[in-house]
Structure 1
Amino acid sequence: MNVRADVVELLHAGYSDRAIARQLGVDVKATVAPARLALGLPKAKSGKKAAATAEDLFWRRVQPTDDGHMTWDGYHTKDGVPGLKHGGRFHTANRLAYRIAKGRDPEGYALPSCGRDDCVKPGHHTDRADRQAEKRVDALYAGIFGPDA
């Protein structure tokens, strides 16, 4: 049997037969079920799929806006801090966005640097080290070109 590569990829990712058929626009009985059988894969587990990482869960909770930012559609603490629990730990949305963009945890707080306080889009945040570097550049720039430059 010739099995489609896109079906194989989704089967190995753990998707159910119906989810694969819906996503690819194919028939369950004619395409997906025979592929699962040919590959010797067990039936997919039913129910909600747990997020592998906090970053995966982050992407389920953000909503893009028309102006290129993202807002948080998930839990907020009583102080209004957007975040989520994963692996028994609380992660703020800003910290996760910084980690996704930079590949490391921020030093100190991760704060939006795009001008929107509610933005959680990765790449729109700075940490303490980034803010200190910006201050040094601003001071150097002012020293070279004068305070009014």
Structure 2
Amino acid sequence: MHTRWSLRRSFYQREMDALLMALQTHDGHLSPDLKLRLEGLLGRLYREWFPRTWRKDPTYAEVIADFRWWLGVAERWSEPMPRPPRPRRVREPLANQPKRLLRMLALPLDCTERRFITAWRRFLKRNHPDVNPDQTPDERRRFAEAVALWRR
């Protein structure tokens, strides 16, 4: 968020170390001078990190909430970018045809309706008696059997 530090970062590091050491020795409530020192450091860091237009006169709770948000954003920088969800493939309806007919057309048992219709029309064009008058009786029997098995 910030472009450059108004004070050296080492100042904030020293102040943070001193505050952590002071907080380690405290049990329970903070002394007023330690509380003031902590609020002063957080206020200064807030003015460093967030632009002046962020909040005009933030409360202490708003400062803490903004720091929590900022740290959450910074933690996510190391995570890999989320992949966009795969587009869902619309399942086509399966062909409701007898297994024997599907085998005659050399189709798998989980054949879709569209694939079945394509194969069925090709089969009809190749094997219909009107198109092929010189068929053998065996080929005519096979065609008649396929038509009898076909569910409309």
| Shorter-normalised TM range | under 0.3
Q: Report the TM-score when normalising by structure 1.
A: 0.24
Question: Which of these two proteins has the greater Rg computed from alpha carbons?
Answer: 2
Report 1 or 2 for greater relative contact order, CA contacts < 8 Å, sequence distance ≥ 6: 2
- Report the structure, 1 or 2, having the larger strand content: 1
Point out the structure with the larger helix share.
2
